[in-house]
Amino acid sequence: MQKIKKRVSGKFQELKKEAKYTFHKWKKQLIIADKIIFFVIVLLLEVVRPDILVIWVYFMIYPYMLLTARKSAIYHLFVSSIIALIWVFIAKNQYSYGGMIAVLGINIYPLFAWAAGLFGTYLIYSHWEHILQERGWFKKMLLFVAFYWPMLIAVETIAYHVFNIRNLSTIAYAGLPLCDCIHAPRWMQISYLALGPIYFGICELIGLENPHYIRMKKQ
């Protein structure tokens, strides 16, 4: 009898874990769609001014999340927008991009780039959160950082060396070694690395969940 109870209990836990981490039926299609959109945005940098492009991308995120049944992800975008606004206000004197839009002394390009970038990193992370056997806060943070830091360095490197997007206010500072990117004072470089974990930590603290996981529970 004890063996049967253990076997049933084991099966129940197995099914529970499977249900917990199984994403909805659009999982593969959403991953493909997200990747295609990312590469299209990168290609558009060749023909569209960066500040115009990031503004367009930011506002297109809202209908895109609604159309792909990920409405709950918009709350993550709200958080990234608030963090971006606070950050750009703090560092506004450190940003200057020639010919790009500025409103009330705040450069629009880094504002929308940070808002969309933080959210985009989370969206990528959200596709892979299910690989964690235990969804503890620390492990989730490590997984997010494992996406955020390489993506940050890759995007900054490509923007600087391929698309020649230069922050004129900090261009005289040395960039990070090897990639020669994020030309800025040391405190800004540290802040760049920290903004992602801060964003993710706030989302976790206020109880925002993976939008794919929420959709799965409703099915």
Each residue's pLDDT, cut to its tens digit, for the chain (219 residues) gives 554 444 534 443 443 344 444 444 566 778 888 888 888 888 888 899 999 999 999 999 999 999 888 898 999 999 999 999 999 999 999 999 988 888 888 889 999 999 999 999 999 999 888 888 777 889 999 999 999 999 999 999 999 999 999 999 999 999 999 999 999 999 999 999 999 999 999 999 999 988 877 544 444
Dihedral sign from CA coordinates of 177, 54, 151, 36 = negative
For 102, phi then psi, to 5°, come to -130, 135
Dihedral sign from CA coordinates of 77, 80, 98, 149 = negative
